[in-house]
Amino acid sequence: MYDVVIVGAGFAGSILAERLASQQNKKVLIIDKRFHIGGNCFDSFDEHGILIHNYGPHLFHTSNKQIWDYLSKFTTWYNYHHKVEGFIDGQYVPIPFNLNTLYKLFPDKMASSIENKLIEKYGFGNRVTILDLQKEDDKELKFIANFIYEKIFLNYSAKQWNKKVEELDSAVSARVPIVISKDDRYFNDNYQALPEQGYTKIFEKMLTDKNIHVMLNSNFKDILTLEEKTFSLFGSEFNGEVIFTGMVDELFDYKFGELPYRSIDLKFENKKLESYQNATTTNYPNDYDYTRITEFKKMYNSKNDSTTIAKEYPQEFINGVNTPYYPLFTDENNTKYKQYEEYSKKFKNLTLIGRLAEYKYYDMDDIVARALEVYEDKFNAN
């Protein structure tokens, strides 16, 4: 009955469903255990009429025109450039740390001297990671590197990851650079915007094809089972393609052990205020148990009587209790993942894709790119 079964209706699963159904007339069954499509990008209007991101703030940004053009088939865009402030030494300052942050936190003469050195060393408009800045020998550059490390990275990393910055994969710490410019925007990509009607509408459009059947509130375990080297679907042998975007360790019954994640307890609060904070997101590296607060109405500049915020309390992922958010990259975990990846090759008709199945951190544009690449290479070649 079905040519393809897809587990997970996030970007990875939905894009492959859309491509296979619309371009190859394949009959696709897409299963998700949640009550909604969209995976972690799901958004919805809360009871106060404010569009919230149910799994934490999602800001779209890319420099890849192909990704932008592909998504533009499913949405129009609301022009939005994300800004973040950090609460540092009693002041709200731009994050990532940039030259404006420098002048807000230090006397002009000192800031100017450090600014000149940063520009001379890295060039105006460029970005440097904290770990690279810390390698500087110059006294002032060393001072500022240590300041940024201690005030912006150290405690944030402890809260977010329960680890020191230097224990993290370098790609993780590089995600928040030091910016040698006065551009207060959080991202520097060519395309920065929000879907005009929200992310969920994108997924609704992707999955409307008559060839796609969506099953929600359904754990794949109840529908799709693994035999020695094959799958069975609703109790009968299934020889079509299986695209899996859930947790790979769950798929293989944790045979090599659990892959660890960090989770977040998101606490939404509605305030009877016009505005709660200056920027859409405020980071609290050194104060409180939460890492950041996002005020959703600031994204679309929507006019509501009240405002909804979300505080993010990072926590350990406990299977069956909370949601796996961020893979924890360590050598040990990466090795464990490789065992699962190797084992998956026994199943000729299985594709693992997405942040959970590949145990990778993908931004939205990355996962869109990955899904389109997998479609072209694996399902549309010759």
Applying CB under 6 A, the span of 10-18, 72-80, 199-207, 300-308 interacting with ligand FAD comes to 10-18
DSSP structure string for 273-312: SS-S-SSSEEE-SSSSS-SEEEETHHHHT---SSEEEEEE
- Other Cβ atoms closer than 10 A to 273: 12
Size, binding site for ligand FAD by CB under 6 A:
36
Q: Which is nearer to ligand FAD, 31 or 118 (CB)?
A: 31
Question: How many Å apart are CA 22 and CA 208, to the nearest integer?
Answer: 10
Q: Which positions from 172 to 211 touch ligand FAD by CB under 6 A, shown as an x/- string?
A: ----------------------------------------
Q: Which positions from 98 to 137 touch ligand FAD by CB under 6 A, shown as an x/- string?
A: ----------------------------------------
At 336, which helix (H) or strand (E)?
A: helix 331-344
* Angular region, 68: left φ>0, alpha ψ -120 to 50, beta rest: alpha
- The correct pick among 39, 177, 198, 285 for binding ligand FAD (CB under 6 A) is 39
Q: Answer yes or no whether residue 219 interacts with ligand FAD by CB under 6 A.
A: yes
Q: Answer yes or no whether residue 306 interacts with ligand FAD by CB under 6 A.
A: no
Tokens of 32: 């998700």
Q: Answer yes or no whether residue 249 interacts with ligand FAD by CB under 6 A.
A: no
Q: Which is nearer to ligand FAD, 39 or 177 (CB)?
A: 39
Question: How many Å apart are CA 220 and CA 214, to the nearest integer?
Answer: 12
Could you give the 3-state DSSP secondary structure of residue 151?
helix
| Beta carbons of 8 and 246 less than 8 angstroms apart | yes
Could you give the 3-state DSSP secondary structure of residue 106?
coil
Name the residue whose CB lies closest to ligand FAD.
39
Q: Which is nearer to ligand FAD, 153 or 187 (CB)?
A: 187
Q: Answer yes or no whether residue 261 interacts with ligand FAD by CB under 6 A.
A: no
Nearest Cα neighbor of 202 from 80, 36, 2 is 36
Distances (CA, A) of 195 to 38, 142, 201: 13, 42, 8
Question: How many Å apart are CA 377 and CA 186, to the nearest integer?
Answer: 33
Question: How many Å apart are CA 359 and CA 335, to the nearest integer?
Answer: 11
Q: Answer yes or no whether residue 325 interacts with ligand FAD by CB under 6 A.
A: yes
Window 13-32: residues binding ligand FAD (CB under 6 A): 13, 31-32
Applying CB under 6 A, the span of 100-108, 112-120, 169-177, 350-358 interacting with ligand FAD comes to 350-358
Rule CB under 6 A: which residues touch ligand FAD? Answer: 7-13, 31-34, 39-41, 55-60, 219-220, 245-247, 250, 264, 325, 354-356, 362-365, 367
